[in-house]
């Protein structure tokens, strides 16, 4: 999973933050940067084709919504990062050493739940 480009990130951030589908005009207003409407529209269409945005007609225009949440995107980046190493254990150790205690507790809870689910299957 490739990382979003700068404009892709800004567009996704606007849509995730809104929590609802937006018109390109609304995305453009939120992104700012003095960009042209066509530039934002083109990148929004690219994100739609990549499967990150939904598209629904609203009169003569379209509204674009998030097809997946930010959490799914970040999880994909972590998976991609782990695929870049021959020593996943070392990478995971580095990751775990950098998390806060409450995150470690949550990770432990999630691992236990996954282990219990696996045993039941």
Burial per residue of 77-103, b for 16 or more beta-carbon CB atoms within 10 angstroms, e otherwise: eeeeeeeeeeeeeebeeeeeeeeeeee
What does each of the 121 residues of the chain score in pLDDT, given as a tens digit? 668 999 999 999 999 999 999 999 999 999 987 899 999 999 999 999 999 999 999 999 999 999 999 999 888 888 888 889 999 899 888 888 999 999 989 988 988 888 887 767 6
Return the domain boundaries, the chain.
Answer: 6-66, 70-120
Q: What are phi and psi of 36, to 5 degrees?
A: -80, 150
For the whole prediction, is pTM greater than 0.85? no
Query: Domain 6-66 maps to which CATH number in 2.40.110.10, 3.40.630.30, 1.10.10.10, 1.50.10.10?
Result: 1.10.10.10
């Amino acid at each position: 999973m490739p990382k979003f480009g700068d404009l892709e990130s800004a567009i996704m951030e606007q849509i995730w933050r809104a929590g609802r589908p937006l018109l390109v005009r609304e995305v453009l207003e939120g992104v700012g940067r003095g960009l042209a409407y066509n530039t934002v529209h083109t990148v929004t269409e690219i994100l739609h084709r990549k499967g990150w945005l939904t598209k629904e007609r609203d009169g003569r225009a379209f509204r674009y919504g998030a097809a997946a949440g930010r959490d799914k995107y970040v999880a994909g980046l972590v998976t991609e990062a782990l695929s870049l190493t021959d020593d996943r254990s070392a990478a995971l150790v580095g990751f775990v050493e950098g998390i806060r205690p409450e995150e470690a507790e949550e990770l432990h809870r999630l691992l236990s739940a996954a282990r219990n689910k696996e045993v039941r299957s």
